Amino acid sequence: MAHTAHSLPDTASVSSRTLEILSKEGNLPICTACGTQYGSARDTCMICEDPRQAVPPTGQTWTSLTQLSSSRRNTILEDTDDHRVKFIGTEAGFAINQTPILLETAEGSYIWDCSAYISTALIHYLSKELRTPLRGIAISHPHFFSTSLTWSRLLGVPLYLNEADKAWYVRLDEIGEGDKVVWWTGEREIGKGLRLIQCGGHFPGSSVLHWDRLQEPAPTDHPTKRTPVSGLLLVADTVMVQPTQRGFTFIWSVPNMIPLGPKDVRAIQHTLASLPFSQATSSWPNRFIRENAREILSQSVASHLRAMGWEMEGKEGELVPA
* Burial class of residue 205, CB neighbours in 10 A (0-12, 13-18, 19+): buried
Q: At what angle do helices 293-307 and 262-272 cross, to 10 degrees?
A: 170
In angstroms, the CA 309 to CA 322 distance is 5
pLDDT at 173: 97
pLDDT at 315: 83
Q: Is the pLDDT of residue 2 over 80?
A: no
Four-residue CA torsion sign, 176, 132, 124, 113: positive
**In sequence order, which residues have a C-beta less than 8 Å from that of residue 225 and are 6 or more positions away?**
none
Q: What is the mean pLDDT of residues 150-157?
A: 98
Q: What is the mean pLDDT of residues 220-241?
A: 86
Superfamily of domain 16-219+226-310: Ribonuclease Z/Hydroxyacylglutathione hydrolase-like (3.60.15.10)
In angstroms, the CA 319 to CA 154 distance is 47
pLDDT tens track for 286-297:
899 999 999 999
Q: What is the mean pLDDT of residues 168-183?
A: 98
Q: What is the DSSP string of 260-301?
A: PPHHHHHHHHHHHTT---SEEE-SSTT-EE-S-HHHHHHHHH
Q: Is the pLDDT of residue 220 over 90?
A: no
pLDDT tens track for 63-110:
999 999 999 999 999 998 999 999 999 999 999 999 999 999 999 999
In angstroms, the CA 180 to CA 149 distance is 9
Q: Is the pLDDT of residue 224 over 70?
A: no
